[in-house]
Amino acid sequence: MESAALEGGFSNAPVDAAHAFRAVMNAMARPGVISELAGAVPPAPLSVAAGVVLLTLCDPETPVYLAPSRNNEAVRSWITFHTGAPFSSVETAMFAVGHWTELKSRGFTVGTPAYPDRSATLIVELERLMPEGATLRGPGIRDTTALSLPEVEAFQSNARLFPLGLDHLFTCGNRLAGLPRTTKVS
């Protein structure tokens, strides 16, 4: 294992993880609201926000799928050292990270009628994350809000699967926004 894999984790793990967990939960509870994350310095090409999310939500029992753009030895070693999360195929991943073009329509699990919570969460790395573009409605949104999604149709189709479906976390640099399956996109 390279010594670089040992670096870049939370400097004060209990406090940093608690702040990060709250930010991720707020992102899912308030779809479209953009927040900033800090506390981790993952290896390239992972963004700070994606690294913080992985450190916060992954452990030895949460399989992670790395899309080709994120699947390199430095990233794998860093995730292994800091979380112990195993790497998996698309079909068994609980979390996946990569560009939208690498993740959409890949066959991630959407849960089952008995266990809709056993679906994957996609950590979508974007070039741009702004409060503009697609209109969002639903739980956690007062009237409407806007978010620069990579497309609209896939998220509309995903919402129609409810209570099944995928949850999405969008990252760009140190910025994070959530889009749970309950959100209606237009």
Q: Give the tens place of pLDDT for each residue, 8-32.
A: 888 888 899 999 999 999 999 999 9
Rounded Cα distance, 15 and 171, in Å: 21
Question: Dihedral sign, CA of 81, 71, 180, 127?
Answer: positive
For the chain, give me the number of helices (H) and strands (E)? 5, 9
The 10s digit of each residue's pLDDT in 133-158 is 999 999 999 999 999 999 999 999 99
pLDDT at residue 11, as a whole number: 86
Q: What average pLDDT does the structure give for the chain?
A: 95
Task: Convert the pLDDT of each residue in 61-96 to its tens digit.
Answer: 999 999 999 999 999 999 999 999 999 999 999 999
Q: How confident is the model at residue 146, as a pLDDT?
A: 98
> In Å, how far are 32, 104, 117, 185 from 153, measured between CA atoms?
17, 11, 23, 8
By percentage, how much of the chain surpasses pLDDT 70? 97
- Domains, the chain: 3-185 (3.40.50.11310)
pLDDT in tens, 32-57: 999 999 999 999 999 999 999 999 99
Q: Which two tokens stand for residue 96?
A: 């996946």
Question: Angle, to 10 degrees, between the axis of helix 48-57 and the axis of helix 13-29?
Answer: 100
Is the pLDDT score of 4 beyond 70? no
In DSSP terms, 110 is beta-bridged to 119
| Secondary structure E strands in 126-173 | 134-137, 145-147, 167-172
Q: What angle is formed at CA 152 by the lines to CA 110 and CA 101, rounded to 5 degrees?
A: 70
Instruction: Give the confidence band of 6 by pLDDT, cuts at 50, 70, 90.
Output: confident
